[in-house]
A and B are shown apart, each in its own frame.
Chain A
Amino acid sequence: MDIWPVTSAMKANRTTIVSVSVRVAGVVCYAAIASCARHEPAAPAAAGAGPPAIPYEAHISAGGRTPAGGEFNNPFRNDPVAAENGEALFSAMNCDGCHGGGASGWVGPSLADGRWRYGGADGEIFSSIYFGRPKGMPAFGGAISATAIWNLVTYLQSLKPPAEVPTEYWEE
């Protein structure tokens, strides 16, 4: 059974992160395990929690009141090893096939411009990868572990927007 890292545990200690999915087959298994070996969990955390619902921070709240929702924070934030693992996964899981090399945009939007359709906070990026998004972003939560997804999130957050964003100027 899948076990979800609860918010408090995640905040406290990265070693409590658990692998969400055991539905790994063949090459997917290779990709997830090989790339994430250095961040595999030591032991499962508290069981029973489902994936937390993440409020989208950029949404407008009616009445100015933000609805209750879970927090979901990246345990590997700014970790260069996790970012490196994430970069390998970005290619191994075919993310670059839609978002382009370096996540600079292809048929899918750029993820390297500091702009986010569905939010750039930790849990928002995690949710986009885990559950997918309606314009054809596949749900990867059934194919790779939560740890692998956090590595991807860390990689994407490590990308610096290019200098020419947001103004493009043509010299005569």
Chain B
Amino acid sequence: MGSEAIRAMFRVAWLTSVGVVGVPLPAHAADTRAADGQWSMPSKDYSATRYSALAQINRTNAKGLHPVWTFSTGVLGGHEGQPLVVNDTMYVVTPWPNVLYAFDLTKEGYPLRWKYRPAVSPNAIGVACCDTVNRGAFYSDGRILYNLLDGHTVAVDARSGRELWNTQVADVTAGETMTMAPLVVKDRVIVGASGGEFGIYGWLKGLDASSGKVVWTARNIGPDADMLVRADKFKPPYAQGADLGANTWENASWKTGGAPVWGWLSYDPELDLVYYGTGNPAPYNPEQRVGDNKWSSSVLARRPDDGALIWAYQFTPHDNWDYDSTGAMILAEIKVNGQPVKALVHFDKNGFQYLLDRATGRLINATPFVQVNWAKSIDLRSGKPVLEPAKQTGVSKGNVKGICPSPEGAVSPASPPAYSPKLSLFFTSTNNFCTDWEATRSAYLKGTPFIGANIPYTAGPGGYLGALIAWDAGAARKVWEINEPYPSWSGVLATAGDVVFYGTLDGWFKSVDATTGKVLSKFKVGSGVVGNPITFRGPDGKQYVAVFAGIGGDWELLVGDTHSDDPADVRAPLDMLKQIARHTSKGGLVWIFGL
């Protein structure tokens, strides 16, 4: 069979698996999609592996990778997220103002088929905590679905670019913005809001995919009725009782308790469970919200049809350190002590890698993957961290020094890991920052930040500020690492060619031997990389790799001297990143690499 025939066959398989609304995906759908040479959803598959079965680019030939195409999005700002490639078309969502581009990959120079320009309020810029990022779109049933910063979810016809529906789901005046990528399961479009720094009442919503109407709203914190908890269905493995999401917050502080949803969602079709992480509780001063603050900084498992909560596990009870758990929940079959486990693997901002039984939420192991000192360990019987008393924060604690990791996280949830089932290895960016933490009392004022802490970062030990690591979750050990002079803030792509791809904050895009960590190729892409590489098979049958360049996200705030676009905003560099503006400035570029 020629490659065209193979591609046609895969396309049919792919259309069969996602093209019929309302029919659950077969269990093998994820495998089919991995091989199909497309990239139709943010994390590649429902298991959030960011693994492609394409293998034309391999450990031997990757040194010959070079850029074949680039395009300026016309937008400066943190280009998080990733393109989609479906039916020989590449779709790119920009940061605010959230332009959607559709590139025709069958024509020389990849000209646009169309470009969609939504009406999106500039007011959202000031309510977004950490730059105007967007983490990407989802392709389903001939439509592109994504979120606008000002709290709208839109569906756009993938062929024509015509807007099919546009629903306001978040309230900017209450501090809610939208930066996450939707997950589409059956006929539900599932979305959440950012705003952990604005005291929102965090939620997840399920929209009807054909009309855009909100079918259910599930709060992440608060009373059972708001959280869509039914006593007969909800079985958290380490907690019991009614209204846990309200009773674990003194003085009803859940009402402004944050717990946003700004990361990645995954889905297990056999269990019919959607998994997602919640962000930090608000405010940062923990003494204004005494209690465990369930279910902030947690993973929740819900039914996509009606949003019913099935189980939840809290990674960081009474989060003192802004340890959002919005990072990817990766579904994989992992051998632990020789026994295969249907696992959910999560690399948390708090520095521990967790491996849970994804049917029940029960903890199987938890191991630090960077230097951690806020907790000594995670107790596997109770599921709770064994805390380090000297690293607890609050107004009464004064200025607490040297907490590791920092609120940038051991890894940012914005930088999703990849998992190669072929090698049984995870690959993730990491940051090497610690922090001091001086909490202050914060007053809630709707539509303004609700924070209450001064948090100056310090460099972690070792003389580097970030790293890409390969990690064996079954054995809970690091396999290799590449240290970086700056925090590592890109997502990772893994392929069956045993090549992994990532980008650096100072603007290098690298391919790496997945088995050894040896860098195979690198290219300077014009701006720091905070996006996530993808791979696809082009109309010519060749494998390509695409990635955004455009420093931003938290680095919009932290390295202000990479701003060059506003003469009325001139900032001194962050002490520990004095050199980065030598290497990068803000940008907005899409790159495609090939052999």
Contact = CB atoms under 8 A, between A and B. Distances in A.
Contact of A30 (B131, B443, B556, B570): B443
Interface in B567-595: 567-573, 579, 581-582
B449 A109 contact: no
Given A94-B443, A97-B197, A107-B557, A138 B448 contact: yes
A148 B130 CA distance: 28
A95 B196 CA distance: 16
Contacts of B560: 104-105, 110
B385 interface: no
A107 B130 contact: yes
Contact of A115 (B440, B557, B567, B579): B567
A108 B123 CA distance: 12
A115 B569 contact: yes
A2 B445 CA distance: 21
Interface string A104-127: 111111100101110000000000
Contact of A93 (B129, B445, B454): B445
Contacts of A105: 557, 560, 569, 571
A135 interface: yes
Contacts of A134: 122-123
Nearest to B571: A105
B126 interface: yes
A166 B444 CA distance: 36
A168 B561 CA distance: 9
B25 interface: no
A107 B129 contact: yes
A69 interface: no
B450 A97 contact: yes
A100 to B, nearest CB: 8
Nearest to A113: B570
B51 to A, nearest CB: 34
Contacts of A31: 443
Contacts of A98: 126, 448-449
Contact of A136 (B123, B557, B581): B123
A27 B444 contact: yes
B125 interface: yes
Interface range on chain A (Cβ under 8 Å from partner): 35 or more
B444 A104 contact: no
B569 A117 contact: yes
B50 to A, nearest CB: 28
Given A97-B448, A138-B448, A110 B443 contact: no
Contacts of A135: 122-123, 125-126
Interface in B52-73: none
A135 B127 CA distance: 9
Contact of B124 (A96, A136, A138): A136
Question: Which of B123, B125, B445, B447 has the most chain A CB atoms closer than 10 A to its own CB?
Answer: B445
Given A138-B126, A165-B570, A107 B448 contact: no
B126 to A, nearest CB: 2
B566 interface: yes
Interface in B497-530: none
A64 interface: no
B449 A101 contact: no
A4 B267 CA distance: 58
B485 to A, nearest CB: 14
Contacts of A94: 442-443, 445, 448-451
A164 to B, nearest CB: 6
A136 B125 contact: yes
B443 A116 contact: no
B200 to A, nearest CB: 14
B171 to A, nearest CB: 14
Nearest to A138: B447
A170 B580 CA distance: 11
Contacts of B129: 107
Contact of B449 (A92, A97, A166, A168): A97
A162 B570 CA distance: 10
Contact of B122 (A27, A109, A136): A136
B494 interface: no
B443 A107 contact: no
A109 B567 CA distance: 10
Nearest to A166: B570
B448 A110 contact: no
Contacts of A30: 443
Nearest to A143: B445
A30 B442 CA distance: 12
Nearest to B554: A107
B434 interface: no
B128 interface: yes
A35 to B, nearest CB: 12
Question: Which of A28, A91, A143, A165 has the most chain B CB atoms closer than 10 A to its own CB?
Answer: A91
A102 B443 CA distance: 18
10 contacts: A93-B443, A94-B451, A97-B451, A104-B560, A107-B130, A110-B569, A117-B569, A136-B125, A137-B126, A168-B581
Given A100-B557, A115-B567, A168-B581, 7 more contacts: A28-B443, A30-B443, A93-B443, A97-B450, A101-B454, A113-B569, A136-B125
Interface of B: 122-131, 197, 440, 442-445, 447-451, 454, 556-557, 560-561, 566-573, 579, 581-582
Report the 7 A-B pairs with minimum CB-CB distance, sorted nearest first.
Answer: A136-B126, A97-B449, A27-B443, A109-B569, A115-B568, A94-B448, A117-B568
